[in-house]
Structure 1
């Protein structure tokens, strides 16, 4: 087994010299190396010295999950706002009458300014084949289930408030 040669010595042997002034030192370096041996050359690297500590390397292109709450449980909204949200749900093939009065959210993936995969999340009221609401026999609460539907039509922005004359 060979004794590893310090990278600084290896760089010196290759003629890679960096002139530093008094009191200056190298804090980090990144090198790509090609070695030969046997029948093929092998490209290594890049090799970074010193190695970054765990969690210190930035993620080059982070993907975020964004969640926008359209309506929250118990929120008081005007008749106009309710009509606007119901029209948006209907445009996305959701029966607004089956949406429980819980949170309604839009979730998507975002990378920088680009958003994709918009989905509408809500709790839907369960109805039997005859269209009647189903109740839990123990709690007597309406049975609901969480549902996600791809958003095909975006919610229009909230209209600006009109000034009274």
Structure 2
């Protein structure tokens, strides 16, 4: 798996370490933030998806082949549903990294955004605005996690392990 080893090599480079390069390539606009968020969230999502696919029960795959499922139906009906719990864990983890990346990108190099607002407030010793920025980030992070948990509860309603825990977790 040459692709996986290449991904692992790239994954070990901290995505925040390439901020100077991203500024040179994209400037300090929205494109730079989008690029950094994409790089930062891609690897956790990839790793969890890769793990989920590799851990799909081989007996289910064998049974699907015995029933005559071709490669495409096998993917959609067996592999993807079997990997979905891991994919959704990767999504939740990626959302956390997304907020971290966005905060750092906006505080280091941005001309707009909550991070930019808090950095300007810091310059003028406006503690209330800095605290407000932190609270807004916390609330947005909680909202993103709540929405992901609802998606998880809906996408995994068929899964015996997630029937009770996903709906209970979505409300907490």
TM range (shorter): under 0.3
> TM-score, structure 2 length as denominator?
0.20
Q: Which has the higher helix share?
A: 2
Q: Over alpha carbons, which structure has the higher Rg? A: 1
Q: Greater strand share, 1 or 2?
A: 1
